[in-house]
Amino acid sequence: MRKFKVAGAQLGAIQKSDSREAVVARMVALMDQAHEKGCELIVFPELALTTFFPRWYLTDPKEIDQWYESEMPSAATLPLFEKAKEYQMAITFGYAEKTPDGHHFNTSIMTNKDGEIVLKYRKIHLPGHGEYAPKRAFQHLEKYYFEPGNLGFNVCANLGGVMGMAICNDRRWPETYRMMGLQGVELVTIGYNTPAYNAERRDEADGKRLFHSQLSIQAGAYQNSTWVVAVAKAGNEDGHELIGGSLIVDPNGFVVAQAKTQEDELITADVDLDESRFGKETVFNFAAHRRVEHYGLISSQTGVEVPEEVKKQLEQE
Ligand code: ING
């Protein structure tokens, strides 16, 4: 293996009223296209089965429950796993997970080419806020609907290589890629749903958001010498714009494929996992170059603490 064609399956908008079945049918159509192009891995977005519901403040438990999957595969998603096996194509997609003991996570799974789940990831970096925020132009209640992931940044063997997953906001944090880089990751899949506008700064248009998304992904790929396949849910969901810009980035940080529309759109690239070797053996040979004795703050301190003597100097200025 190690050489295969990968597909990024961008999804256009999913409205509040769209059924799981209608969405799964769109996803299967993209799998059909990917199969015709000989792809052996297809990557779908974050929360791929529903609209980006954390934009809505709901309080009725029954209304909230409708957005989550309590089993995977479920009846509605089984066709995806069956298609994966039929096409011998590994798939990844994100969904809202409700565990049997009542925990809620923003989750993604990855299967092998037989449609068996080989990796599960629960989103660790939850952006937004945990309570209704009246001043915002729209809500981003991921801290209200989900708990931080409890599975860590993990990797698995798939298609002959080391693969890992992250979700949306995770892509903005270098720790995400480095944790997988330290486990030898060669290809990271990332789904995202990114509002085109900043709910707190209406003047920040989506050009800036596309730039920051791409910058983060290219940096993560290059600094850990890994492929990254990052796929958007795009378009206008019940009046709320999400950026597209799905892309495939190689281990040198170059964009090798990018979506052009805000709709369901397949992008593909020929992946050779061995292209990640040179970076891992030279510039980013972690064992030869990293000095962990100097990195303590990164995992011991959460927020910013300006050193006392610096604070004193600032007071004198
Ligand atoms: N969405 C956005 C993201 O991280 C966001 C939230 C947008 C945070 C822009 C910061 C800046 O892409 C999700 N779902 O995380």
* Domain CATH code at residue 238: 3.60.110.10
Atom in ligand 1 nearest the alpha carbon of residue 47: 14
In a domain, 289, yes or no: no
123 assigned to active site: yes
In a domain, 298, yes or no: no
- Per-residue H/E/C for 146-175: CCCCCCCCCEEEECCEEEEEEEHHHHHCHH
pLDDT band of residue 206 (cuts 50, 70, 90) is low
Q: Do 72 and 97 touch, CB atoms closer than 8 A?
A: yes
Q: What's the angle, vertex CA 151, arms to CA 147 and CA 155, rounded to 5?
A: 140
Q: How many domains are there within the chain?
A: 1
Residue 77 has pLDDT above 90, yes or no: yes
Q: Determine if ligand 1 sits within 6 Å of the CB of residue 143.
A: no
Average pLDDT, the chain: 97
pLDDT in tens, 269-309: 999 999 999 999 999 999 999 999 999 999 999 999 999 99
Atom in ligand 1 nearest the alpha carbon of residue 46: 14
Report, as an integer, the average pLDDT of 86-110: 98
pLDDT in tens, 48-67: 999 999 999 999 999 999 99
Q: Determine if ligand 1 sits within 6 Å of the CB of residue 168.
A: yes
46 assigned to active site: yes
Q: Determine if ligand 1 sits within 6 Å of the CB of residue 139.
A: no
In a domain, 293, yes or no: no
In a domain, 242, yes or no: yes
Angstrom distance (rounded) from CA 91 to CA 83? 10
Q: Determine if ligand 1 sits within 6 Å of the CB of residue 108.
A: no
Helix %, strand %, coil % for the chain, to 5?
30, 25, 40
Q: How far is the CA of 169 from the centre of ligand 1 (A)?
A: 5
Q: Which domain holds residue 239?
A: 3-284
In a domain, 290, yes or no: no
Q: Determine if ligand 1 sits within 6 Å of the CB of residue 194.
A: yes
In a domain, 296, yes or no: no
In a domain, 305, yes or no: no
Atom in ligand 1 nearest the alpha carbon of residue 170: 4
pLDDT in tens, 22-41: 999 999 999 999 999 999 99
Report, as an integer, the average pLDDT of 109-132: 98
Atom in ligand 1 nearest the alpha carbon of residue 140: 6
Q: What's the angle, vertex CA 126, arms to CA 171 and CA 268, rounded to 5?
A: 35
Q: Which of 218, 206, 209 is nearest to 255 (CA)?
A: 218
| pLDDT of 199 | 79
Q: Determine if ligand 1 sits within 6 Å of the CB of residue 169.
A: yes
Q: Which of 243, 242, 267 is nearest to 257 (CA)?
A: 267
| Marked catalytic residue, from 98, 123, 233, 280 | 123
pLDDT in tens, 215-264: 999 999 999 999 999 999 999 999 999 999 999 999 999 999 999 999 99
In a domain, 14, yes or no: yes
Residue 3 has pLDDT above 70, yes or no: yes
